[in-house]
């Protein structure tokens, strides 16, 4: 099995080494194509107006000056062509990718691009706490990911589905199990705009997150609830975002 790995934290991110180790638990034919620089939060952006620079970092390891989407396209269509990979792994992200994160996340986008190319694709993320922010508990992802991947692959991943896997911010022995979840929703106030001033007195802004808004009790059955209860969250996300129920309403309304 040929596996293509990417991330959005960049070619030198610790989580990329973790996803490669996970991949090597499944196969010896592992390729890494990751962004040259941190691309967190770029979502599913594609570089159309800027050239892509490709750098060989080592055997079967490449850096692309572009987005995670660019990396999957370059890996599948250029570096590995004509033999496509059999599996795409994106991550392991430093920090969870749940709820609204799935819209913003470059990690999710890398897996989505694999799905667009018709490949079974997984997004992998390791949650951290205030205490483990500087040193996420990567061993949790390392322990649980290979088994989860094997079982999901054996079950068969639908062509239009990406599998989003999040590991809780606790040691492997503290994980209570695995839950299949749905995408949760955060408090709408979780995003904030932080205004500051530079040395010349000119204003500039950071987009950040309100921690108090992130602490709301999550709905049962969601990715947020699973992580809060120390379960690994496995969420299948559809590539087709059509709202079928509202489509029926519109069909009647627009007759």
How much is the pLDDT for 27? Answer: 98
Q: Please name the residues in contact with 65: beta carbons below 8 A apart, sequence gap of 6 or more.
A: 35, 36, 37, 52, 53, 54, 55
For 2-184+219-253, which CATH superfamily applies? Survival protein SurE-like phosphatase/nucleotidase (3.40.1210.10)
Helices (H), 11-156: 14-24, 68-74, 101-104, 106-116, 138-155
| pTM of the model as a whole | 0.94
User: Is 70 exceeded by the pLDDT of residue 12?
Assistant: yes
Helical (H) or strand (E) element with 247 = helix 244-253
Report the SS3 class of residue 250: helix
* Cis-peptide, bond into residue 82, ω within 30° of zero: yes
Q: Please name the residues in contact with 113: beta carbons below 8 A apart, sequence gap of 6 or more.
A: 44, 68, 69, 72, 73, 88, 121
User: Is 90 exceeded by the pLDDT of residue 57?
Assistant: yes
Q: Are 76 and 85 in contact (CB under 8 A)?
A: yes
The average pLDDT across 47-74 equals 97
Report the SS3 class of residue 136: coil
């Amino acid at each position: 099995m040929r596996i293509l790995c990417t991330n959005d934290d960049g070619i030198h991110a610790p989580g990329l080494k973790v996803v490669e180790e996970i991949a090597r638990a499944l196969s010896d034919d592992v390729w890494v194509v990751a962004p040259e620089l941190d691309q967190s939060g770029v979502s599913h952006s594609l570089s159309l107006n800027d050239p892509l620079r490709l750098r060989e970092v080592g055997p079967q390891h490449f850096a692309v000056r572009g987005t995670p989407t660019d990396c999957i396209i370059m890996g599948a269509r250029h570096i590995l062509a004509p033999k496509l990979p059999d599996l795409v792994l994106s991550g392991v992200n430093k920090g969870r990718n749940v709820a609204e994160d799935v819209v913003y996340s470059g990690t999710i986008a890398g897996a989505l691009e694999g799905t667009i190319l018709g490949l079974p694709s997984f997004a992998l993320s390791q949650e951290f706490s205030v205490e483990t922010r500087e040193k996420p508990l990567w061993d949790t992802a390392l322990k649980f990911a290979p088994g989860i991947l094997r079982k999901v692959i054996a079950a068969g991943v639908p062509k239009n589905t990406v599998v989003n896997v999040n590991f809780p911010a606790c040691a492997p022995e503290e994980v209570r199990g695995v839950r299949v979840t749905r995408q949760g929703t955060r408090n709408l106030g979780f995003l904030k705009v932080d205004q500051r001033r530079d040395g010349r007195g000119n204003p500039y802004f950071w987009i950040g997150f309100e921690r108090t808004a992130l602490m709301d009790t999550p709905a049962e059955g969601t990715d947020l609830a699973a992580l809060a209860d120390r379960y690994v969250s496995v969420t299948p996300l559809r590539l087709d975002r059509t709202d079928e129920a509202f489509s029926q309403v519109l069909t009647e309304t627009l007759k």
